[in-house]
Amino acid sequence: MTIPDVPIKDEALLSAALRHRSAVDGNIEQSYERLEFFGDSILGMIIAEYLYEHFPSWDQGKLSKAKATVVQEAPLAETALKLGLENYIELSTSEAAAGGATRASILADVFEALIGALYIEQGFSMTRWFVLEHLHPYLQQVAMGDIGMRDYKSRLQEVAQARWRKTPTYRLTGERGESHERAFEMEILLDGEVMGKGFGKSKKEAEQEAARDALEMIARYDSQRGHKAQDKV
């Protein structure tokens, strides 16, 4: 099996990078999960290196926001779709029927798994080229100043640091469904108080949704304070 624009030659390694856990009867070693874990780290390093080299005037905070903008779920899933990976992902019958091949969390995971597989087979130089080639549109986006627009976690952290000099923490509060149709629930805590809740088909997605809920709660609170101040005038 070969995939256009994916330069992995080892068919067994490529197949593993495309195999969802639902297709292996619980044998995680045969699914893409370990490769996805590895590829996630390689991806983060490549993007961090690129941003460090190309934007010497940016401070740590801006670099972190730019990195989060590029490596979050949506851009990775969009890139996977551009590569046509949804046509090659191996899923169980039920997961395929539920539309798993076009689910953003799965597409993003598969893209990261391919990065891990490519690094194992061909090393850093080829992997770096592959990542920068296919994520170029998102790197251009951050170069033009479009940073953190969909990264609710980074926006919430900025707000919390500015207002309270504290960092929110995330807590997994629930999981639902079978292993191949899992849904996650996350809470955000600040000083032990729940600021927001979110649900998603991956932990990352649930965290983003919880952060968005918290930002909306802060906006409602600010709006109410504004109305009360006007009423007193």
Question: What tens digit of pLDDT does each residue of 151-180 get?
Answer: 788 778 878 888 888 889 999 999 987 766
- pLDDT of 231: 55
Q: Which of 89-103, 128-142, 172-186 has the lowest mean pLDDT?
A: 172-186
Name all domains of the chain by residue range, CATH numbers in brackets. 11-143 (1.10.1520.10), 152-232 (3.30.160.20)
Instruction: Specify the DSSP element, H or E, that contains 198.
Output: strand 193-200
* Per-residue pLDDT tens digits for 38-62: 999 999 999 999 999 999 999 998 9
pLDDT at 98 over 60: yes
- pLDDT of 222: 80
pLDDT at 95 over 90: no
pLDDT at 228 over 80: no
* Residues identified as active-site: 40, 112
The listed range with the strongest mean pLDDT (73-87, 117-131, 198-212) is: 117-131
Q: 3-state class of 188 per DSSP?
A: strand
Phi, psi of 228 (to 5 degrees): -65, -40
Mean pLDDT of the chain: 89
pLDDT at 146 over 90: no
**Other C-beta atoms lying within 10 Å of the C-beta of residue 89:** 23
Nearest CA among 180, 176, 184 for reference residue 23: 180
Contacts 24+ apart (CB under 8 A), 98-106: 98/181, 100/20, 100/22, 100/180, 103/201, 104/73, 104/74, 104/77, 104/201, 104/205, 105/73, 105/77, 105/200, 105/201, 105/202, 105/204, 105/205, 106/20
**Helices 136-143, 60-71: inter-axial angle, 10-degree rounding:** 150
- Report whether 46 contacts 127 (CB < 8 A): yes
pLDDT at 68 over 80: yes
Helix ranges restricted to H, the chain: 11-17, 33-54, 60-71, 73-82, 93-97, 104-134, 136-143, 152-164, 203-232
Model confidence at 2, pLDDT cuts 50, 70, 90, reads confident
| Mean pLDDT of the region 94-106 | 86
| Residues above pLDDT 90, as percent of the chain | 56
Distance, CA of 6 to chain centre:
21
- Report whether 26 contacts 94 (CB < 8 A): no
Region at 203 (left for phi over 0; alpha for psi -120 to 50; beta for the rest): alpha
| Mean pLDDT of the region 126-155 | 88
- pLDDT of 161: 85
pLDDT at 227 over 70: no
The model's pTM is: 0.70
